[in-house]
Chain A
Amino acid sequence: MFGYLIRRLLIMIPTLIAISAIVFVIIQLPPGDYLSSYVAELQSQGETVSADKIAFLREQYGFDKPMSEQYALWVIGMLQGDFGYSFEFSLPVSEVVGDRLWLTFIVSFSTILFTWAVSFPIGVYSATHQYSFGDYGLTFLGFLGLATPNFLLALVLLYVANSWFGTSFGGLMDPEFIEQGWSWAKAMSVLEHLWVPVVVIGTSGTAGMIRRLRANLLDELQKQYVVTGRAKGLPPVRLLLKYPLRMALNPFIADIGNLLPQVISGAAIVSVVLSLPTTGPMLLDALRSQDMYLAGSFLMFLAALTVVGVFLSDMALAVLDPRIRFEAGGR
């Protein structure tokens, strides 16, 4: 087990290095960098205003240096906690993100809870009542959720929330609470707005989760130990919860790896449509405006979280399911 842990940890290092190289190259690929065009625009306005700033930035980030050296500077900066400078906001990247991170966490964790709370009972019910009317009905609903374009559902729900409940349109709270400290009223306002993104982002994930749980549980239900348990007279619910369900939980655990980056990128398109103050729209904007350090740091952060997430879920799986541990050890 310890050897497995060490090996998994060591593998993360080359993975992250490879990802950082790819991210850097991709961001540099589009023609024209932000600075050179920025200089041209400023010159045209006769305000060489920030020409000094440009020179300063050029030097600080080494735009005049070869790409390999630029890459090294960027990576070293990141290791020291300097994520670069956002051109769009004229602020260091770390200052730009600010409050958004917390709101993204709130939205994403609520979404995960919603997904689990809905898909867990439905998945179990579908598997134990395979091909019943209820199975078909719930599966149909799940697929409906999967098939409806998120942005459309988002707009419809926004309209409903606004015209039936009088919730302000979009955002995560009533505008008067923005920039205010946390209070009871603000928390209530957030809750009032939260359900729309949670339902929208959640519905698409729910269907997938239901199907995976159902399939895994069905596999297990056919196995001999279940038949044995049943023959020995274990009550059906206890039997289900104690043995096959535990085995079928693997997809939930394996999903943690994907959940962490989701927490940060936060379903970008839905967030853009709903105008949520989360990190997703910011990442999209940064990519569109070639704000390379903001975008690069974001992508790097996402990659790191994915790697850590996969590591954590592998660990949890190894703890939970001895088979995984043994297979890894035997390699």
Chain B
Amino acid sequence: MIGARGLCAALIAAFLAQATGAAALTLVETPSLSARVAAGKLPPVMQRAPREPLVVEDTGGRGWKPGRHGGALTILMRRSKDVRMMVVYGYARLVGFTPDYQLAPDLLRAIDIEEGRRFTLHLRKGHRWSDGHPFTAEDFRYYWEDVANNVKLAPIGPPRIMMAGGGSPVFEILDETTVRYTWPKPNPDFVPALAGPRPLYIYRPAHYLKRFHIRYGDKEKLRRKGKKSGRRSWAALHNKRDNQYKNDNPRLPTLQPWVVRNRPPTQRFVFARNPYYHRVDRNGRQLPYADEVVMNIAGAQIIPGKTGAGESDLQARYLNFSDYTFLKKDEKKNGYKVRLWRTAKGAHFTLFPNMNVKDPVWRKLFRDARFRRALSLAVNRHEINQVVYFGLALEGNNTVLPKSPLYRPEYTRKWAAFDLKRANALLDELGLTKRNSRGVRLLPDGRPMEIVVETSGEDTEQTDVLELIGDSWLAAGIKIFTRPSQREVFRNRIFAGETLMSVWSGIENALPNADISPRELAPTSQQQLQWPKWGQHFETRTKVGEAPALPAVRELLTLYQSWRTTPERAKRKVIWRRMLEIHADNVFTIGVVAGVPQPVVASTRLRNVPEKGVYNWSPGAHFGIYRPDGFWFAGANTRKNR
């Protein structure tokens, strides 16, 4: 189960294991770096790795074996912006999830949590950034004092997660490698946020960024630089250089296993190993094993084809379940193996009626639970499952999966059986009785009920499913049109209230236990496509957006906030159940199918890639929790086209 169960126990255990393991270890020089070390350009490995490195052991009996250095890991991505995926796959976090979804210190040597509100972070002694500069408490101070609380750099102030219980934390530096954050109230979201696929970054490479900061840099020079690069102020320039997640600045020092070397526009990104990485194996080899990661940019349409031709060593992104048979066919010939991993999403395909849409007539309808129920009842999930997913998917609402301890069958089934009669009756009850000559119902203002459903345009499968939904909705008197778009435009249109209805996947973590935050169920983020403005309202501390207008949604928010202040597991379980019930009954989102397996292709030469895994964004970071820095190549490279 995905959970932070026994968080503290796990953290302490991990700390003990490392402390004992590290003492006797002699590190081996990485072959690809030895020339630079011999030439004196790089210190030897014993001085590069932290004095207290993280010694990687097999966790959870997945057959992890220490390997050897060398090789370039080739992956395929669609856009230049996907360089950020290396931050996700690299998954060097202060605290990270293990493959068993336990939280364990990673960049940190240890973390002590008292009363859920005082967090003491212990860094590794001798840990260095990828440019060799020490990683210390100063990097945390710089972020907290000079970035998060600088009006120019962060006009809205520190991120929401740093403001638990309405207050900002007291930040203290205890010594060079120890910092402490103390909140007035418990902050259960803090540690999981550090472990996220897009983590909360509470540190910055201060030594690099200070030259762009008005407080430290040469003011006159900064002003000139800002102008020259086409930016108006030092803050804009600082922010442009400081994108640890976007990963688009080759000069920005990092703690990730691989460091990006070139910048867009290009069709091929190369990532070189970080010679100061903090993880080593038990034979004393510094990770990552692969010397390079090569990211080739190709069209989404031909990524399955290229993967099938053996042009990727590790691929799951942009592969669909429907590609499985094609990929399986050339497995032997092209030297790779296809695995089917489980997914942990609440639904693979979900419709999001936009309750913040600008159109007042539609907005009123979408906010009416009876209308959403009718829409859900008019979806023939069984047919979709049979036609598109070979009957292998799970039909039902967007909610927790059966393997979660919080699961109840009614969460999946309520308002999800195909029942046109009932759907039509509900729509009639709403007064939508008039129809035009084609049998499409009319809105109260006389327009026909035509819904434009927008997709991110990355996946033709979504269009196929929509085609099937369109048929059964037409029988209920509602016509839909599909509009494929592009991810950013797609989101922005929803945020702006232009979009009536959209398609995306369901809740990210559908295997929670009661200790996992139920924030996905409450309006807490703009990324929640059914209520972007309500989510934004919470996210920006009521500065932007709108307050939730529905009582049920307000109740969700209250429940979420009481979960945050309730430490007892039994009570938390009650809160979770109530929130799931509200969701099932109100059908805020219309889930269609869940549990569609994800094909994962890995070269047969690549070792330590688990046979069975869970492919999930959060928690999981796709491959991140399985630690690609520990994947290694066995045997010689015999294939062409690398």
Point out residues on A near B: beta carbons under 8 Å.
31-32, 34, 36-38, 40-41, 43-44, 46-53, 55-56, 85, 88-92, 95-96, 98, 155, 158-159, 162-163, 166, 168-171, 174-176, 178-179, 272-275, 277, 281, 285, 288-290
A175 touches B262 (CB 8 A): no
A56 touches B231 (CB 8 A): yes
B232 touches A170 (CB 8 A): no
A171 contacts which chain B residues (CB < 8 A)?
267, 298
B265 touches A37 (CB 8 A): no
CA distance A158 to B305 in the complex (A): 9
B457 contacts which chain A residues (CB < 8 A)?
288
A289 contacts which chain B residues (CB < 8 A)?
486, 488-489
1/0 contact string of B26-46 vs chain A (CB within 8 Å): 000000000000000000000
B156 touches A40 (CB 8 A): no
B301 touches A273 (CB 8 A): yes
Closest to B333 in A: A163
Closest to A85 in B: B230
Check if B20 is an interface residue, CB within 8 A of chain A. no
Check if B133 is an interface residue, CB within 8 A of chain A. no
Q: Contact check: which of B308, B498, B540 meets A44 at CB < 8 Å?
A: B540
4 more A-B residue pairs beyond the given contacts A85-B230, A89-B264, A272-B299, with a C-beta to C-beta distance below 8 A:
A44-B526, A44-B545, A46-B156, A91-B265
B232 touches A56 (CB 8 A): yes
**How many residue-residue contacts, CB under 8 A, span A and B?**
151
Chain B 568-603 residues near chain A, CB threshold 8 A: none
Name the distance in Å between B218's Cβ and chain A's nearest Cβ: 20
B642 touches A32 (CB 8 A): no
Q: Contact check: which of A85, A96, A168 meets B265 at CB < 8 Å?
A: A96
1/0 contact string of B491-502 vs chain A (CB within 8 Å): 111011010000
1/0 contact string of B462-488 vs chain A (CB within 8 Å): 000000000000000000000001101
Interface size class of B (residues with CB under 8 A): 35 or more
A174 contacts which chain B residues (CB < 8 A)?
641
B301 touches A169 (CB 8 A): no
Name the distance in Å between A284's Cβ and chain B's nearest Cβ: 10
A175 touches B296 (CB 8 A): yes
A53 touches B232 (CB 8 A): yes
A52 touches B302 (CB 8 A): no
A158 contacts which chain B residues (CB < 8 A)?
302, 305
B311 touches A175 (CB 8 A): yes
B535 contacts which chain A residues (CB < 8 A)?
44
CA distance A166 to B334 in the complex (A): 11
A178 touches B266 (CB 8 A): yes
Check if B221 is an interface residue, CB within 8 A of chain A. no
Point out residues on B near A: beta carbons under 8 Å.
74, 80, 154-160, 230-233, 235-236, 239-240, 262, 264-268, 294, 296, 298-299, 301-302, 305-306, 308-309, 311, 457, 485-486, 488-489, 491-493, 495-496, 498, 525-527, 532, 535-536, 539-540, 544-545, 640-642
CA distance A163 to B240 in the complex (A): 44
B267 touches A32 (CB 8 A): no
A-B contact pairs, 17 of them (CB 8 A): A37-B493, A38-B492, A40-B492, A41-B495, A43-B540, A44-B545, A46-B154, A48-B154, A158-B302, A162-B305, A168-B309, A169-B311, A171-B298, A176-B642, A275-B301, A275-B302, A277-B267
Closest to B487 in A: A289
A159 touches B299 (CB 8 A): no
B156 contacts which chain A residues (CB < 8 A)?
43, 46, 48
Closest to B158 in A: A46
A95 contacts which chain B residues (CB < 8 A)?
265
Closest to A277 in B: B267
* Contact A169-B540, Cβ < 8 Å, known A44-B495, A53-B232: no
B486 contacts which chain A residues (CB < 8 A)?
285, 288-289
CA distance A124 to B631 in the complex (A): 61
B526 touches A273 (CB 8 A): no
A46 touches B236 (CB 8 A): no
B158 contacts which chain A residues (CB < 8 A)?
46
Name the distance in Å between A327's Cβ and chain B's nearest Cβ: 47
B545 contacts which chain A residues (CB < 8 A)?
44
A56 contacts which chain B residues (CB < 8 A)?
230-232, 236
CA distance A289 to B78 in the complex (A): 15
A163 contacts which chain B residues (CB < 8 A)?
309
Q: Contact check: which of A38, A89, A277 meets B80 at CB < 8 Å?
A: A89
A46 touches B311 (CB 8 A): no
A288 touches B485 (CB 8 A): yes
B266 touches A273 (CB 8 A): no
Closest to A40 in B: B495
CA distance A95 to B486 in the complex (A): 23
B264 contacts which chain A residues (CB < 8 A)?
89, 91
Name the distance in Å between B77's Cβ and chain A's nearest Cβ: 12
Closest to B527 in A: A44
A170 touches B298 (CB 8 A): yes
CA distance A155 to B302 in the complex (A): 9
CA distance A180 to B87 in the complex (A): 25
CA distance A288 to B485 in the complex (A): 7
CA distance A88 to B248 in the complex (A): 13
Q: Contact check: which of B262, B268, B491, B540 meets A46 at CB < 8 Å?
A: B540
